[in-house]
Chains A and B, each alone.
Chain A
């Protein structure tokens, strides 16, 4: 597709020079120089937290630079907000869907800039016609009058793209647009992108799926820790080059694996299956085992079925099937409480929604799963409870002013420690951790990783899910890779990063063969 890249054929439409963005505590962008070429696909790649999203938010006017300049068509410009950027032809499709399930497809496409008569009366017919034309362009057989909630997630993503197109974007930013799409829908999207390119639209494309990037990209920019580590035309770029630039040679301050002997197998799952609402299986006959004192890293891209697997193990999906064994004993308990009693504990991915009860105090959150330990008959001993909570605050090094403050007053890292403390208080044999470092700063991350190491050294089996390549490489005693609900790779510690990435994107060979 991009056999010959001629720089002159792709004029630079938007230019960032020396761009810096500072958030309290972290520098998200460090003196970034970025050229966005029109009529081409500008690919942006980097680990989670590398600054891709921040860079895109700057271009789309959602955030403003602290230093440096943005030039649009050779003129310096500052976007005060998203709508100003939109007026200049910059459209963005966010990774999270920003749609209204209760409104129709047409209403969603034109929300915020409705087609009206006299500024009051919504011109329903005009909106429907325009929406139908957009759907035709995107090769989708979706009726504009359908309520959005009735569509599959992939179709909703298409509607989100249509929304950006409806505003006649000259620059279109796509943040992980394919994470929820089926293979056929991805093909459609790629055709649309090709179309847009020919019309001179400059496209910025962010994805973790490296094979996709190589296939459709014309230019590639790699970010690491807020700085650009590589920028070139896509010609001759291969996955090892991308990975090398993404994670660099110097590893972050992750605790080195302290050698300790692994014990017996403590946990095994066999043939776990979870039917997916979109058809097929979200978790497809997964089997794995964890030994005492072993940290098993489960790597995979978004939608690979990793979180779903952990949820199946924690009795969240009544429709799942499969067998589970703890220390060789079958687990038949169907309730969360029963599985916690058997020695399973889960650190959920979404701390706010699943991990904590925000309005309750730190003490109450810490002891939520182990109240029976402080109960005789009916009577709950508040004294014993507070003592235990204080012990765990100390042990987990949670920074608090008082045990009685609401847990919502803590920082992300300290909240995560509360969640882990709650899980550990149940004296688990296996700790399941879903993205344990999500949304916390570097310092707290390192602490959490150290804690994981210590726990493993004490004989706990840990199965943790992550989409951070560096994390899985540095932390795991063994690496498992999932894609499309299946186990697609198994590596020892110290595996080659490129191999792990390839296993996570099993479609690579098929696409390269084309």
Chain B
């Protein structure tokens, strides 16, 4: 086919069904949401008890954890990076939280026979600082020492996991009930408390998501994150402080992971050093499913939250239907691949529509 013929065909395709194209585009644009409705309706019909309030609460608690990690991951990916270390940060932060609740900080190494004890708020702050600190190490390696994000965060994945194991020599910290004397008996509220009928962990997710969405769309920092991922050199020449932006996204990702570490140790009232293994992959999956482009510059917090819900509902729904865990894994993989394929189709279509509008 000659090129003129091809051009003619394209024209008829566009010209002949302009309204259909834009309707299709609209549908594709909302694809994650459509997927969410589809899985929801499917399980509502196929799985008994799926719609019960108790089940909804359980699912939302599961989703909150992955969504929190995925929010941090979304910023990192939009800025053109990747953070493989979040699962390990979850583990390490859970261990730090458990240690602080159980033992506090023993000042014996200073020669003082006294141990510092902390209340719940203090414990939370310390744990969050630990998460941000590991994120800043990632950022430092990537911006100042020019280590590729994949490698830098792969390194911290192992280091943080190792540190978590060293903390307790591989053992679990049990019975994190806390001590009313020190004001740490409220620690369990983070994971098992409720507020207006919703679990506290879900509220945390909602608040973080709202802040993140605001950050992404309504602040210069958010715009700069997109710019760095879209064209780092171009952003730098426009006066964007690229290194600072990258540093901040990894620190934010570390913060999100620390929150998850706190929630899990509080929920279980115990912390285990293997907590959070492979969580990073679920977070990446949620971000990608929500329309975040792995090549950077594109993605939305809202999309990521919906993506996390799709993954969470799919996982819990399949369990309720009694589908084997092997099949669950296969289905999850297929859904992710389908999401990316649809994303490609949408982008092609979108570019074509814009070209046509310009021509008109």
Q: Are A368 and B223 neighbours in the complex by a CB distance under 8 Å?
A: yes
Alpha-carbon distance A446/B272, docked complex (angstroms): 70
Q: Are B239 and A336 neighbours in the complex by a CB distance under 8 Å?
A: yes
- Chain B, residue nearest A400 (CB): B358
User: C-beta contact mask, B162-197 vs A, less than 8 Å → 1, else 0?
Assistant: 000000000000000000000000000000000000
Q: Are A409 and B358 neighbours in the complex by a CB distance under 8 Å?
A: yes
- Chain B, residue nearest A381 (CB): B218
Number of residues of chain B lying within 8 A (CB) of chain A: 29
Q: What's the minimum C-beta distance from A429 to chain B, rounded to whole angstroms?
A: 15
Say whether A406 faces chain B, with CB atoms less than 8 Å apart. yes
Complex interface: chain A residues within 8 A of B224 (CB): 371
User: C-beta contact mask, A35-50 vs B, less than 8 Å → 1, else 0?
Assistant: 0000000000000000
Say whether A353 faces chain B, with CB atoms less than 8 Å apart. yes
Complex interface: chain B residues within 8 A of A357 (CB): 226-227, 230-231, 234-235, 297
Majority-rule SS of B interface residues:
helix
Q: Which of B221, B230, B355 has the most CB of A within 10 A?
A: B230
Q: What's the minimum C-beta distance from B255 to chain A, rounded to whole angstroms?
A: 17
Number of residues of chain A lying within 8 A (CB) of chain B: 36
- Looking at the complex, which one of A353, A359, A382, A426 makes contact with B297 (CB distance below 8 Å)? A359
Say whether A61 faces chain B, with CB atoms less than 8 Å apart. no
List the interface of chain B (C-beta within 8 A of A).
217-224, 226-227, 230-231, 233-241, 297-298, 351, 354-355, 357-358, 360
21 contacts between A and B (CB under 8 A): A354-B233, A356-B231, A357-B226, A357-B230, A357-B234, A359-B230, A360-B226, A364-B227, A368-B223, A368-B235, A368-B240, A371-B223, A375-B219, A378-B221, A379-B218, A379-B219, A401-B354, A401-B360, A405-B357, A405-B358, A406-B351
Complex interface: chain A residues within 8 A of B218 (CB): 378-380, 382
Q: Which of B231, B235, B237 has the most CB of A within 10 A?
A: B237
Q: What's the minimum C-beta distance from A351 to chain B, rounded to whole angstroms?
A: 9
Complex interface: chain B residues within 8 A of A355 (CB): 234, 237
Alpha-carbon distance A195/B73, docked complex (angstroms): 61
A369 and B238 in contact, given A375-B219, A375-B220, A380-B220 (Cβ under 8 angstroms): yes
Q: What's the minimum C-beta distance from A259 to chain B, rounded to whole angstroms?
A: 34
Q: Are A353 and B238 neighbours in the complex by a CB distance under 8 Å?
A: no
A354 and B220 in contact, given A337-B241, A359-B298 (Cβ under 8 angstroms): no
Say whether A402 faces chain B, with CB atoms less than 8 Å apart. yes
Q: What's the minimum C-beta distance from B283 to chain A, rounded to whole angstroms?
A: 23
Complex interface: chain B residues within 8 A of A405 (CB): 354, 357-358
Q: What's the minimum C-beta distance from A220 to chain B, rounded to whole angstroms?
A: 36
Say whether A321 faces chain B, with CB atoms less than 8 Å apart. no
Complex interface: chain A residues within 8 A of B235 (CB): 357, 368
Q: Are B223 and A353 neighbours in the complex by a CB distance under 8 Å?
A: no
Q: Are A378 and B219 neighbours in the complex by a CB distance under 8 Å?
A: yes
Alpha-carbon distance A401/B355, docked complex (angstroms): 10
Q: Are B227 and A409 neighbours in the complex by a CB distance under 8 Å?
A: no
Q: Are A401 and B227 neighbours in the complex by a CB distance under 8 Å?
A: no
A380 and B233 in contact, given A337-B241, A359-B297, A401-B360 (Cβ under 8 angstroms): no
- Looking at the complex, which one of B220, B237, B360 makes contact with A348 (CB distance below 8 Å)? B237
Complex interface: chain B residues within 8 A of A382 (CB): 217-218
Alpha-carbon distance A378/B358, docked complex (angstroms): 35
Q: What's the minimum C-beta distance from B223 to chain A, rounded to whole angstroms?
A: 6
Interface residues of A in 322-349 (CB under 8 A from B): 335-337, 340-341, 346, 348
- Looking at the complex, which one of A354, A369, A400 makes contact with B239 (CB distance below 8 Å)? A369
Alpha-carbon distance A355/B354, docked complex (angstroms): 21
Q: Are A335 and B241 neighbours in the complex by a CB distance under 8 Å?
A: yes
Say whether A5 faces chain B, with CB atoms less than 8 Å apart. no
Complex interface: chain B residues within 8 A of A402 (CB): 357
Q: Are B237 and A314 neighbours in the complex by a CB distance under 8 Å?
A: yes
User: C-beta contact mask, A376-389 vs B, less than 8 Å → 1, else 0?
Assistant: 00111010000000
Complex interface: chain A residues within 8 A of B234 (CB): 353-357
Complex interface: chain B residues within 8 A of A346 (CB): 237
Q: Are A371 and B297 neighbours in the complex by a CB distance under 8 Å?
A: no
Say whether A306 faces chain B, with CB atoms less than 8 Å apart. no
Complex interface: chain B residues within 8 A of A380 (CB): 218-220, 222-223
Complex interface: chain B residues within 8 A of A410 (CB): 358
Say whether A490 faces chain B, with CB atoms less than 8 Å apart. no
Alpha-carbon distance A371/B226, docked complex (angstroms): 13
Complex interface: chain A residues within 8 A of B233 (CB): 353-354
Q: Are A360 and B297 neighbours in the complex by a CB distance under 8 Å?
A: yes
